[in-house]
Chains A and B, each alone.
Chain A
């Protein structure tokens, strides 16, 4: 089966898609050795991320097993995770 999305570390709560996928697509991916599938709730462009579990407001978004920012709203599994709902903690003048 061709790879559709990549979860880099088993601690991650996002996957990165390796093709453009329209909303409604059921995509398949691996977490470690175990295969998972999930229906996309939004269009996910090539290289962008989707939540693979529910992420609460203020919760860390994890990729490479590290925080890449915090969620600014509840993100459901299959939703697009990007600058509209992820906020960086670093290099900010306000914090």
Chain B
């Protein structure tokens, strides 16, 4: 089965052709956004990170920004540094350039102020546009696709219908040789023993138990209760009574394939099949981690409804709550509610989800893309100093 994709110099395949402008510090975020505002093909990642971060938290931010630069949906990159931040600007750019795509750098303190940097940045990005705008998507095998699966604003319909339907689509892609990522460690709590039965090796099962244990311990270390934030007030109003109930519904979205490995936040998987990534349950930080890990398309199941998009990847929204589909039709791509009313089976809707992934991979814009939603957020694991 073929899809249309852009083959990058490192051999990986993207389904979009973005030029990405990466600020390496919160201090260069506005300059990066200003450059992107002028060039239709460009998109920036304004963020609040990059300086005064320590240890694994610093490394995680660097890994995430590099992963976004390397993502095959990105054709070319401009890195915008301030000059004195903690993130190594030129090393970050060099690491992205190792994937073979064109990468340019501008540094505000070296060029001499933001106005000159914006002018120089615009000149460089306009050159990048001319370098990559002629690229045409080619027919490639569907096994080149990397799918991230997310759920957010869950209610009772998520575990009952939209997550199992997403799971069918995930199974179809794994069977076709593709890559699938399941994340949201908080939402494995109470369901990890069910997932662990599918781990490829005892070591992978042990890694899974460990990330869930660490997630609970971090909350205890702060002397807080995960119940204060999970399930959310919206989840509870929607009928979810505990984190265990939420988790048991969440894990359906990964289908039934064996779990190949457990990845760090933003880590790129080494093989094909189903992978688990250690991310928080917060949707934007979770999706950001999986895109840094190379995912090129996102399935997002929701009960309450959400507008989430991404700067570099299509996000396909699905709900099985008929009221939500009616009230938020501007934001939801696919109506899975016939499962709940008994008019369609989970398998039938799962195949519709898979067809939607194919159509979006072949160029159809999702609602979030056509509305310009571009949420981005890096998971912090330590305070800023």
Contacts and interface: CB of A to CB of B under 8 A. Distances in A.
Interface stretch (A21-29, A32-40, A63-71): A63-71
Contact of B244 (A45, A67, A81, A94): A67
B341 interface: yes
Contacts of A89: 190, 244
A52 interface: no
B194 A66 contact: yes
A16 B243 contact: no
A1 B123 CA distance: 66
Interface string A32-73: 000000000000011111000000000001011011110000
Contacts of A47: 155-157, 238-239, 303, 321
A69 B242 contact: yes
Interface residues of A, number: 30
B225 A68 contact: no
Nearest to A69: B242
A10 B239 CA distance: 20
Contact of B241 (A8, A82, A90, A94): A82
A11 interface: no
Contact of A64 (B159, B223, B224): B159
A92 B341 contact: no
Interface in B211-252: 216, 219-220, 223-227, 230, 236, 238-239, 241-245, 248-249
Contacts of B245: 63, 68-69
Interface string B255-281: 000000000000000000000000000
B191 interface: yes
Given A47-B238, A48-B239, A49-B239, A90 B156 contact: no
Contacts of A48: 156, 239
A16 B190 CA distance: 19
Given A2-B341, A6-B160, A88 B239 contact: no
Interface-centre pick from A16, A92, A93 (highest chain B CB count, 10 A): A93
A18 B189 contact: no
Interface in B78-126: none
B340 interface: yes
Contact of B249 (A18, A64, A81, A90): A64
Interface of B: 155-157, 159-160, 186, 189-191, 194, 216, 219-220, 223-227, 230, 236, 238-239, 241-245, 248-249, 303, 321, 323, 340-342
The 9 A-B pairs at the shortest CB distance, nearest first, are namely: A91-B226, A47-B156, A47-B239, A88-B242, A68-B245, A69-B242, A48-B239, A64-B248, A68-B244
